[in-house]
Amino acid sequence: MSNYHIKHLEEYWQVYRKSVRNPESFWEEIAEEHFLWRKKWDNVLSWDFSKPEIKWFEGAQLNITENCLDRHLASRADKTAILFEPNNPDEKAEHITYRDLHRRVSKMANVLKSQGVKKGDRVCIYLPMIPELAISVLACARIGAVHSVVFAGFSASALSTRINDCDCKIIICADGSFRGNKTLDLKDIVDKALENSPGVKTSLVVRRTNTTVVMKEGRDVWLDDLFDKAEDVCKATVMDAEDPLFILYTSGSTGKPKGMVHTTGGYMVYTAYTFKNVFQYREDDIYWCTADIGWITGHSYIVYGPLANGATTVMFEGVPSYPDYGRFWGIVEKHKVTQFYTAPTAIRALAKENLNFVEKYNLSSLKVLGTVGEPINEEAWHWYNDHVGKKNSPIVDTWWQTETGGIMISPIPYSTPTIPTFATLPLPGIQPALMDENAKEIQGNQVEGRLTIKFPWPSIARTIYGNHDRYRDTYFSAYKDMYFTGDGARRDAVGYYRITGRVDDVIIVSGHNLGTAPIEDAINEHPAVAESAIVGFPHDIKGNALYGYITLKETGEGRDQDNLRNEINQLIATRIGPIAKLDKIQFTEGLPKTRSGKIMRRILRKIAGKDTENLGDISTLLNPEVVKSIKNNALV
C-alpha cells in the first residue's frame, strides 16, 4: 500500500525519502492504487530538461472525468459534489450531487459535440463563478477538448489575445455576472473581444443575470435551449496520459501571456494526491477554496483535485465584502466548512475591518486554513491564525505556480509544525534546490538563493502553447537540468523554506540584497498601515534606493504624515536594519493589483523611476484607477 494519506511528521519524512530515492516507483504506486485507468502505462517517466521534454505514464489511457465523476457513482451518487453559494445571500445555495453533476456534464459534453467540437479542439470558457463554469470545464475533458478558461474579469482585449493565441473556434460565456451589488455585462465584453477574434464561429451563452444582450445571428446561441434537449449520457473519450487537458494563461514579465499546457494523467495524479494531503481531506469534509476557477488554484483545487477525491467542493459566486465583510465567515458557519483556502490579499483586506465581522460567526467547524498566491506577511498570518483559526487550525502556506500545476512546498497540517511566513517543506516527490549568482547549488541550511526544482513531478506544465522555445528559455535555461521558478527562497536552520518573492523583486541597495517581502512585513507591523509595496529607484550613491507605497488603515488617516514616515522607518531599522530604510514614502489610497491579488510592482517601479510614459497594459488590473492617482502624487 502506498502511504497516500500522511498523518504525522515521521511518516512525512519516511514518505519523502522514499519519493526522492525512487520517484518512479513512488508515483507509480499512487497511480496504481487510487485511480481508474483504461489502460496502464508502458513507462512511468521519461524526461530531458534540456529539450525540455517530460512524459509521465506514457502509454496509459484514461479519462479524467471518469475519475472525477463516474467512479464515485457507486458509493457517492447522492453526496454533494459542488455546493454552490450564490452572490446574493438570500438566494438558496445549490447542492449538486455527484449523480447530478455527472448528468449535467454529460449533457454539456453532448452540446459541445453538437456544435462540432472534437478531441484536441480548444474551447474558450469565459464565465463567472457559477456551476456552468465547472460543468463546462469537465464537459471539455469528457470529450477530450482542451479548455482555456479566461478569468471573467479580464477585458475584451485580454480575452481576445487569449482566444487568438490558441485559436479557439468556440467560446462559452454568459449574459452577465453578479459581483456584490454590481451586475457586469459580460456578453458586451465578449462581443467586443470577438470583433478581434474572427476565428470564433460559435458562442454559447449561459443565462445568469437576464440582462438584455445582443445575440449575433449565426454565431450566438443560448445554452439552455440546447442543454435541455441534449442527451444525458455521453461516453468519455479515451485519452492518452500525455494528451493536453487544458491551457491556462499566466502573465510573463514581458510580452504576451504564456499559455501553459497541462496534460492529463500526471496532472490528475498530482492534484488529487496533494489535495488529500495538504488539506488532510476526509470523507465528510466540506472544503472551500475562494479562488476563481479562472486561475490555476481554481482548476486544481476547486475542480480536479477535490472531485478526484470524491469531495464536496464549495463554489462561491460573490465577493468577500458583500453584503458586508462578514460574508466569508457567514458561509463557513452556514455550510460548516472544514477547510478554507484563500489568498493573503483577502486576509489583509478583511483584517482591516472591524473584528466583529468575524467574531459573530461560529467557525468551530474549521480544521485547516490555507493561503496561496504571494508571500503572506506576519501580521496577516497572525490575524488569520488568531481570529479565524482561533489558534486551533493549522495554516498551510502553499507555494506553487500555474506552471507547477499543483502545490509544491507546504506544511502537511497536523504533521509539519508551522511557522508564520514559511511554506516549510517540499511535498513528496518535490526536490527543491537553491542556486547562487554563479549558477551553483547552495548546500546546507541557513542559506538564501534562487529557487529551482531538480527533478520532474507529474503535474509540471509540458510546454507553452505554440512556443516551445519560450518554454525552454523561461524555465530551463538559467540553470542546467533544472526548472527555474523565478522565485527566491531562504532555507532556515531546520530546512524549512521561506519564499522571499520573485527574484525580480530583489533590490540591491548599496551592495546589499534586499528582498521586498521582509521589508514590507516590517512596514505592515505598524498599527496604522494596511498594506505596502516597495520598489527600487536609481540613486547616485547607493545604486538603488527604496521607494515605499503605503496604504493606511482608517486609524492612520488624518495623522501627521511626516511623523508616520519616521515611525515606519524606525520600525524597518529595528526589524531589518537602517540599510533597508525607505528614501521615499508615498501614502496611497490603494496598490495596483492583478485580478488574482498580486501587487503589480512593475508599474510602481516605473512610477518611482519617473518612467511613466509607457506603463504597459494596465487594463487587466483589478483597480486600474489607482494607477492614475499614484502617478499624480508621485514623489519624484
Question: Which stretches of the chain bind ligand 6R9, using CB under 6 A?
Answer: 250, 295-297, 372-375, 397-402, 423, 485-487, 499, 502, 596
The sign one gets for the Cα dihedral 191, 197, 200, 204 is negative
Q: Quick one: which of 400, 387, 392, 325 has its CA closest to 359?
A: 387
Cα 156 from chain centre: 22
Q: How far apart are CA 189 and CA 182, in angstroms?
A: 16
Q: Least distance in Å: CB of 251 to ligand 6R9?
A: 9
Q: Omega before 323 cis (within 30°)?
A: yes
Q: Least distance in Å: CB of 396 to ligand 6R9?
A: 9
Cell of 327: 460574508
For ligand 6R9, the closer CB: 41 or 275:
275
For ligand 6R9, the closer CB: 89 or 420:
420
Q: Least distance in Å: CB of 200 to ligand 6R9?
A: 26
Q: Quick one: which of 340, 446, 456 has its CA closest to 398?
A: 340
Residue number closest to ligand 6R9, CB atom: 402
For ligand 6R9, the closer CB: 19 or 424:
424
For ligand 6R9, the closer CB: 250 or 561:
250
Q: Least distance in Å: CB of 596 to ligand 6R9?
A: 5
Residue showing cell 512556443 = 467
Q: Least distance in Å: CB of 299 to ligand 6R9?
A: 10
The residue ranges of DSSP E strands in 188-234, in sequence order, are 202-206, 220-222
What does residue 609 show for φ and ψ, rounded to 5 degrees?
Answer: -90, 15
Cell of 230: 441534449
CA distances (Å), origin 331, targets 179, 381, 467: 16, 21, 42
Q: Which helix (H) or strand (E) holds 500?
A: strand 497-502
Q: How far apart are CA 139 and CA 473, in angstroms?
A: 34
Q: Least distance in Å: CB of 231 to ligand 6R9?
A: 37
DSSP 8-state class, residue 87: S
Q: Least distance in Å: CB of 284 to ligand 6R9?
A: 27
Whether 626 and 589 have beta carbons less than 8 Å apart is answered as yes
Whether 9 and 424 have beta carbons less than 8 Å apart is answered as no
Q: How far apart are CA 566 and CA 33, in angstroms?
A: 60
Cα 187 from chain centre: 25
For ligand 6R9, the closer CB: 81 or 291:
291
What does residue 190 show for φ and ψ, rounded to 5 degrees?
Answer: -60, -45
Within 8 A by CB and 6+ apart from 121, the residues are 145, 146, 169, 170
Whether 193 and 102 have beta carbons less than 8 Å apart is answered as no
Q: Least distance in Å: CB of 474 to ligand 6R9?
A: 12
For ligand 6R9, the closer CB: 501 or 536:
501
Q: How far apart are CA 448 and CA 489, in angstroms?
A: 6
Q: Quick one: which of 468, 470, 465 has its CA closest to 263?
A: 465
For ligand 6R9, the closer CB: 279 or 357:
279
For ligand 6R9, the closer CB: 147 or 335:
147
What does residue 631 show for φ and ψ, rounded to 5 degrees?
Answer: -65, -45
Length of the chain: 636
Within 8 A by CB and 6+ apart from 391, the residues are 385
Q: Least distance in Å: CB of 356 to ligand 6R9?
A: 29
For ligand 6R9, the closer CB: 3 or 250:
250
Whether 418 and 384 have beta carbons less than 8 Å apart is answered as no
Q: Least distance in Å: CB of 511 to ligand 6R9?
A: 25
Q: Least distance in Å: CB of 268 to ligand 6R9?
A: 18
For ligand 6R9, the closer CB: 243 or 487:
487
Instruction: Identify the burial level of 414 via C-beta atoms within 10 angstroms of its C-beta, where 0-12 means exposed, 13-18 middle and 19 or more buried.
Output: middle
Q: Least distance in Å: CB of 25 to ligand 6R9?
A: 28
For ligand 6R9, the closer CB: 170 or 451:
451
For ligand 6R9, the closer CB: 80 or 277:
277
Whether 58 and 288 have beta carbons less than 8 Å apart is answered as no
Q: Which helix (H) or strand (E) holds 508?
A: strand 507-509
Q: Least distance in Å: CB of 301 to ligand 6R9?
A: 9
Q: Least distance in Å: CB of 247 to ligand 6R9?
A: 14
Q: Quick one: which of 251, 158, 250, 258 has its CA closest to 464?
A: 258
**DSSP-derived 3-state class of residue 518:** helix
For ligand 6R9, the closer CB: 260 or 314:
260
For ligand 6R9, the closer CB: 98 or 249:
249
Q: Least distance in Å: CB of 406 to ligand 6R9?
A: 9
Supply the angle between the helices 265-278 and 23-34 in degrees, to the nearest 10. Answer: 90
For ligand 6R9, the closer CB: 350 or 423:
423
